[in-house]
Amino acid sequence: MSDEIVFAKEPPKREPAGPGWPIMVVDDDLAVHDVTRLALRSFEFEGRSVELLSAFSIEEAKRLLADRPDVAVVLLDVVMETEQAGLDLIRFIRADAGNDAVRIVLRTGQPGRAPESRIVRDYDINDYRDKTDLTAQKLATTLYAALRSYRDIVRLKELSKDLAAAKSDAEAAAAARDAFLRTAAHELHTPLNAIVGYSDLIGREPYGPLGDARYNEYIWDINANGRALLAMVDNILQAAAGSGETMELEEEAFDLAECVDDCLSRLVEGDHVSIHLKTRSGEAFRLFADRLAVQRMALALLTNALKQSAHDGHFEIAARRLGDGQLILSVIDDNPARGEDDDDGASLGIGIARVLIERHGGRLTFERRQNGGLRTNLIFPKERVLEPGERKA
């Protein structure tokens, strides 16, 4: 039998997950500091021990808090230099220093001088304990709860900062994008106006016939596409200005047919496209809305239909009133090439029209036609449709 003594290996020491949690003890009794240190010598929360900081007066506590803004929990006595010293420190932490993250646990040996019901009601503390009742286990339990609360508050504050920074970055990026869009759109506006103007002039043949009939078709294509591009540029400018989402509506009563006529006068009419407003015989509609916004919506729909229409087809604009009082303003094209895969909702002008009609309490809808064409509807709520002779301020 061997007399050799074999000792068991010591378990490897676990590396701490981070620096100790800063816990400040504010008490004028040295014994309280020593007992607290002894009670928490093996305390851990989330793999971190505690770093105990001692203050023996209110002024010392204030200086320590200024030096260590990362203090997580304050274990605070009430009666020190004065009977209200601890309560004065609470006011300083919460009001003067503006520290709402640190958790404050009030510990008193004279509860009669600081009644629990009044202190909890009137002061922003997180726990109230009688020193004679605070065993090592109860102190640990109290500290677990306080540190969890502190941890969550710090995380929320960090998340709030991250969100604020992300919002600032997004706003800066949006501003840069809008500035670029405005610059690019303005640069495109002048040459497009020239293209549209000169193609109009050539199409009228003021200096003699062009000759081959195909030239007239080419001029039509140049003019129609130039106007479509010009409308797109205008939509880009409007999108950069906010797409109507924050625009104040300047509401007035006006005749819908006159408003539509203004829109039609801005579009080209040629041999290959017919545009007309259709209503039931004798019907005249008046709206209470933002006239300019309604024109922008109608122009967006008309421009989109013009872009999609076939050379040998036509499109039309129609208005009718439903039985429930709503009014529908529709733009219909009969391009047989239009199919289910066409996504008019992705058009910038259509997107702006959708925002504007929703600002008016209405909606924008699409209806596929059997011949492959499309009906695009602006639906105004009945509250915006005026009866004959009705006026609104």
Please choose, from the candidates 284, 280, 277, the residue with its C-alpha nearest in 3D space to the C-alpha of residue 255.
284
**For 206-226, what is each residue's pLDDT tens digit?**
888 888 888 888 887 787 778
Question: CA 22, CA 53: separation in Å to the nearest integer?
Answer: 7
- Is there a contact between 116 and 128 (Cβ–Cβ < 8 Å)? yes
Please choose, from the candidates 266, 44, 259, the residue with its C-alpha nearest in 3D space to the C-alpha of residue 147.
44
pLDDT confidence of residue 272:
42
- Is there a contact between 267 and 227 (Cβ–Cβ < 8 Å)? yes
Give me the numbers of helices (H) and strands (E) for the chain, helices first please: 9, 13
Residue 112 burial (10 A CB sphere; 0-12, 13-18, 19+): exposed
pLDDT confidence of residue 6:
55
Which residue matches tokens 């808090």?
65
- Is there a contact between 175 and 242 (Cβ–Cβ < 8 Å)? no
Q: What is the dihedral of CA 138, 140, 141, 146, to 10 degrees?
A: 120
pLDDT confidence of residue 113:
65
Please choose, from the candidates 317, 327, 261, 331, the residue with its C-alpha nearest in 3D space to the C-alpha of residue 288.
327
One DSSP character per residue, 68-130 reads -TT--EEEEES-SSSTTHHHHHHHIIIIIS---SSEEEEEES-GGGS-HHHHHHHS--SEEEE
Question: CA 379, CA 279: separation in Å to the nearest integer?
Answer: 15
**For 17-76, what is each residue's pLDDT tens digit?**
678 999 999 999 999 999 999 999 999 999 999 999 999 999 999 999 999 999 999 999
pLDDT confidence of residue 7:
52
pLDDT confidence of residue 270:
44
Q: Domains along the chain? A: 21-134 (3.40.50.2300), 248-386 (3.30.565.10)
Residues in Cβ contact with 326 at an 8 Å cutoff, skipping those fewer than 6 apart: 362, 379, 380, 381, 382, 385
**C-alpha neighbours within 13 Å on the C-beta side of residue 1:** 2
pLDDT confidence of residue 16:
65
Q: Which residues of the chain have pLDDT under 70?
A: 1-17, 111-114, 235-247, 265-282, 308-314, 335-348, 389, 391-393
